[in-house]
Amino acid sequence: MVEARNNDTRERILDAAERLFMAHGYEGTSMRQITGEAGVNLAAVNYHFGSKETLIQEVFRRRLDWLNEERLRVLDELEREAAGQPLKPSQIVDAFFGTMLRMAEDESRGGMTFLRLLGRTLAEPSEFIRGFLAHEYKTVVDRYKEALFKALPDVPKAEIVWRFHFMLGATSYAIAGTDALRLVTDWQIEPEDSVDRLDRLLPRLMSFLIGGLRAQLPQFPDAAVDR
């Protein structure tokens, strides 16, 4: 039997698709752009991946498999060291969001390009990719929710889930780097302070996330005494 000898074409397609989906979105990127940038024949995508839908799923799986395993590994390690004691919220936040952001420095795992694609896609999921991402993340998210519940026993669980949601939003937007309102881009900021400098973005974002996670609990309007 004759087996596959060359996954160079596959990798070139995945790299080009990753970059173009990041820059122009899923619907905004055509197969001809992808194969053109990858330097392969138009038919190669359908031959190797079947369809455009399975292609973008492969683009994500290639990176997310590692990320989610790493997130579980880091959380396991933290819980092992804590020996039953609840973790600090900042440890959990760093294990989830920090692990993701540090991918930006690892070019072999997609670097900033994949991170931006991920941030974009979390905010604009096509119907079919929403289900795919939710499935990919299910195990990890459940583990981290439980860890946060234990770390913050005084905070209602529903509140923690919402704040996890908000943290995810702040992070997605930060790494997507679109900066629609030119808040940061238009600002007199040193070049070394730009989004690309992860070692400055990461501490800033972490401070913000932990501040939000540990904020005072909200007062709901229907909590008034006369009701």
Partner DNA sequence: CTATGATTCAAACGAACGTATGAATCATAG
Partner DNA sequence: CTATGATTCATACGTTCGTTTGAATCATAG
Enumerate binding residues for DNA (CB under 7 A). Answer: 1-6, 8-9, 29-33, 40-48, 51-53
Number of helices (H), then strands (E), in the chain: 10, 0
Find which of a copy of itself, DNA, none residue 225 binds, CB within 5 to 8 Å per kind. Answer: none
58 binds a copy of itself (CB under 8 A): no
Smallest distance, Å, CB 91 to a copy of itself?
16
Residue 143 φ/ψ region, left for φ over 0, alpha for ψ in the -120 to 50 degree band, beta for the rest: alpha
Find which of DNA, a copy of itself, none residue 128 binds, CB within 5 to 8 Å per kind. Answer: none
* Contact between residue 83 and residue 72 where contact means Cβ atoms under 8 Å apart: no
Find which of a copy of itself, DNA, none residue 156 binds, CB within 5 to 8 Å per kind. Answer: none
| Among 8-16, 45-53, 57-65, 187-195, the segment contacting a copy of itself (CB under 8 A) | 187-195
Per CB under 8 A, the list member of 113, 124, 149, 150 interacting with a copy of itself is: 124
Per CB under 8 A, the list member of 9, 31, 37, 137 interacting with a copy of itself is: 137
* Contact between residue 26 and residue 56 where contact means Cβ atoms under 8 Å apart: yes
10 Å Cβ neighbour count for 141?
A: 17
Of 77, 74, 71, 25, the C-alpha closest to 52 is 25
Of 108, 121, 98, 129, the C-alpha closest to 172 is 121
Per CB under 8 A, the list member of 31, 74, 78, 133 interacting with a copy of itself is: 133
Find which of DNA, a copy of itself, none residue 139 binds, CB within 5 to 8 Å per kind. Answer: none
Smallest distance, Å, CB 3 to a copy of itself?
37
Buried b (16+ CB within 10 A) or exposed e, 7-20: eebbebbbbbbbbb
- Residue indicated by tokens 């690309």: 196
Cα dist. 12→37, 114, 132, 221 in Å?
A: 9, 15, 23, 55
| Among 67-75, 94-102, 109-117, 131-139, the segment contacting a copy of itself (CB under 8 A) | 131-139
Of 76, 69, 67, the C-alpha closest to 100 is 67
Question: What stretch of H or E contains 168?
Answer: helix 157-176
| Among 41-49, 53-61, 66-74, 207-215, the segment contacting a copy of itself (CB under 8 A) | 207-215
| Among 11-19, 93-101, 104-112, 219-227, the segment contacting a copy of itself (CB under 8 A) | 219-227
- Contact residues toward a copy of itself (CB under 8 A) are 24-25, 27-28, 119-126, 130, 133-134, 137-138, 141, 145, 158-159, 161-174, 176, 178-184, 186-187, 189, 193, 199-200, 203-222
